[in-house]
Amino acid sequence: MTQRALTKPGRPPKAERAGLKTNLLQTLDRGIQALQIIAQQANGITIADLASRLDIHRAIVYRLISTLETHALVSRTPEGQIFLGGGILVLASRFEPHLRSFAQPMLHRLAEETRATAFISQAQGDECVVIMVAEPEEGLLRVGYRVGSRHPLTLGAAGIAILAGRPEHANDPEEIRQARRDGFSLTRGQLQRGAVGVASPLHGPGQLRTAFDACIGVVAMDDLDTATAIAAVKAAARNLAALMRP
């Protein structure tokens, strides 16, 4: 078992955390980790479960959640389940123009280089949602992959890549483990007959995680040059992740 497998979900590896320790505000860091974990729970999460995931006392988590709730970043149901709050949408709406300013040109270059539809997809609960797309100028046959398209995270190159970018879990299927080792996912015909997809997470093992649980990739029909696509997508993922980090 690797050290990565022992890391709590939503937290950097121990060695990485040690290197960053002097630069972190602990309470703020825990609040951000909590938001990342909550974002991945389609059915919400309890104080007790969140405390276990963060490996801290419930009383500390209760204060964190109360503070986040005050700023509408999380909400709680009468049953005690915690979800992201409406304040996240306000922050996201302000982030999107910034993302497009540097990501859209990168997507266009990726589409032209691979002669395939390039995309950025993001996790929303248990689904993978396309948020940006660019199509090549050349090519007659194109896959119907459009902004707003969604599918389960467990299907398609994009969903598998996002899961591969998350910390390792004991019950991860082999295709996610393989994508984590390779730094990319390659699938054929999982979402559309004859379609081939290649995607890479925006962070991988040993890299500083971003709060953006997403991937970048391309999709085309069977004539996709997969060797070219893999190299181009992995390079694009590295470049985009670097631009998104402080």
d(CA 168, CA 161): 13
Both 35 and 103 in one domain: the answer is no
Question: What's the structural domain count of the chain?
Answer: 2
pLDDT digit string (tens) for the chain, length 246 residues:
333 333 444 444 544 444 444 455 888 888 888 988 888 787 889 999 999 999 999 999 999 999 999 988 888 888 889 998 878 777 766 666 777 788 899 999 999 999 999 999 988 878 898 989 999 887 655 666 788 888 899 989 999 999 998 878 888 999 999 999 999 999 998 888 888 999 999 875 444 444 568 899 999 987 889 999 999 999 999 988 887 765
pLDDT number for residue 9:
45
Last residue of a domain, one of 53, 85, 117: 85
Both 116 and 76 in one domain: the answer is no
Main-chain phi, psi angles of 233, to 5 degrees? -70, -45
Last residue of a domain, one of 61, 85, 109: 85
Q: Which domain holds residue 14?
A: 4-85
Both 107 and 216 in one domain: the answer is yes
Task: Tell me the H-state helices in the chain.
Answer: 14-20, 26-39, 47-54, 58-70, 87-114, 156-164, 174-182, 226-244
Both 63 and 157 in one domain: the answer is no
Both 104 and 46 in one domain: the answer is no
| CATH code (residue 215) | 3.30.450.40
User: For residue 55, how many other CB atoms are within 10 A of its CB?
Assistant: 8
Both 218 and 139 in one domain: the answer is yes
**Global pTM?**
0.65
Both 137 and 210 in one domain: the answer is yes
| CATH code (residue 19) | 1.10.10.10
Both 110 and 55 in one domain: the answer is no
The order of strands in the sheet holding 196-201 is: 150-152, 127-134, 117-124, 214-220, 196-201, 185-188
Both 69 and 113 in one domain: the answer is no
Of 10, 1, 6, 8, whose CA–CA distance to 165 is shortest? 10
Judged by DSSP in three states, 196 sits in strand
Last residue of a domain, one of 85, 107, 123: 85
Both 149 and 49 in one domain: the answer is no
Both 71 and 131 in one domain: the answer is no
Both 35 and 81 in one domain: the answer is yes
The one-letter amino acid at 2: T
CB-CB contact of 73 with 84 (8 Å): yes
The radius of gyration of the chain's CA atoms, rounded to the nearest angstrom, is: 18
